[in-house]
Amino acid sequence: MTSAIAKKKHAKYFQRILQLVPSRLAMFDRSRLTFAFFAISGLDILNCLDEMSHDEQLQAIEWIYRLQVSDSGYRSGFEPSTTIPKEAPNYQCGHLAMTYTGLATLLILGDDLSRVDRKSLIKGISACQNPDGSFTATRVGCESDMRFLYCACCVSAILDDWSGINKQKAIDYILKSISYDGAMGQGPGLESHGGSTFCAVASLFLMGELHNVLSKEQLNRLRHWCLMRQDGGFQGRPGKPADTCYSFWIGATLQLLGVSHLSDPECNRKFVLTTQNTLIGGFAKFEISQADTDPLHTYLGLSGLSLLGEADLQAMNAALNISQRAYNRLQDIHKRWRSKSEHS
């Protein structure tokens, strides 16, 4: 097993995803923007964003803005792909995960978000919150759970505007989703899971409420649950095998809870590196001899390695799941927005 990250191969892998998605992934057209986020944010974390030419980056920015559905009230947001033509406006509808990954990708590409219709997107978020505080992805009937609550928090944090969320209801939903073992499920009464626990903890962190609404004991039980998920790499639930993506989901949660130093980074790193394909790039969920690579595990594998402080990867902002460099750019944008609103 190699102990190095095959950086160049992974950069090529992401470039291929941007050019041509393999036919076995064609069903993911409905989340094409998320794939673009994995590839572009992945190149950013690899410090290889300049492998996209300036023109390619501008084209990507234009494509993402074409996905913005604005001034459509409850349907406002970003769509997954341009498959639905603009000539059929009644079928266009934002999706919270696409709105989050669209805005994040614009930031990573160096866009200043000046063409984002912030007011309209906030209306779109607000329309997706249910009376119990959870969020649906769209307003046109679909599942609701912790994932979309997290996406709503990310969009609010990026837009520096929380008026689209009833925070108290969102917090109540998170608190009701704490399971008997101290971690969070997708909703009340559901089994604790590494992904939903990240979404819940990161949402509270983004709201600035992590240490206000959880007691010391609740925080310690959460820390304990997350630390106990390490089995070489990290597993998503007790009794499950370690899986590459949880190096990010659990790794980021541990960082937000301030205890990543209590895990074993070397064991985790060793596991994640067994899941990389060193010939053609990409990471799989399990050891590479047992599973195929895919864009999600490739992105989250690299993000998990970045959280371990890997020297030649960009540092991550754990709560928003983007590079710290992109996050710093966001803070500059917020400063400009705030001084503009003070002077208007």
CB closer to Zn ion, 48 vs 226: 226
Query: Which residue matches tokens 């820390």?
Result: 223
212 closest CA partner among 161, 174, 250, 268: 174
Q: Whole-number minimum distance, CB 111 to Zn ion, in Å? A: 30
Q: At what angle do helices 7-19 and 32-45 cross, to 10 degrees?
A: 150
CB closer to Zn ion, 281 vs 301: 301
CB closer to Zn ion, 245 vs 257: 245
What number of other Cβ atoms are within 10 A of residue 83's Cβ? 10
CB closer to Zn ion, 79 vs 243: 243
Q: In angstroms, what CA-CA distances link 67 with 32, 72, 111, 132, 138?
A: 11, 13, 15, 29, 15
Q: At what angle do helices 96-108 and 146-159 cross, to 10 degrees?
A: 40
Q: Point out the residue whose Cβ comes nearest to Zn ion.
A: 245
Q: Whole-number minimum distance, CB 271 to Zn ion, in Å? A: 12
| Cα gap 34→105, rounded to integer Å | 9
DSSP symbols for 299-327: HHHHHHHHHTT-TTSPPEETTTTEEHHHH
Q: Whole-number minimum distance, CB 272 to Zn ion, in Å? A: 11
Q: Whole-number minimum distance, CB 292 to Zn ion, in Å? A: 12
Instruction: Return the bridge partners of 219, or none.
Output: none
Residues that bind Zn ion (CB under 5 A): 243, 245, 285
CB closer to Zn ion, 103 vs 300: 300
Q: Whole-number minimum distance, CB 306 to Zn ion, in Å? A: 17
CB closer to Zn ion, 221 vs 240: 240
Residue 30 tokens read as 């409905």
| Cα gap 304→117, rounded to integer Å | 32
Q: Whole-number minimum distance, CB 245 to Zn ion, in Å? A: 3
CB closer to Zn ion, 109 vs 245: 245
**Collapsing DSSP states into helix, strand and coil, what is residue 135?**
strand
Q: Whole-number minimum distance, CB 244 to Zn ion, in Å? A: 6
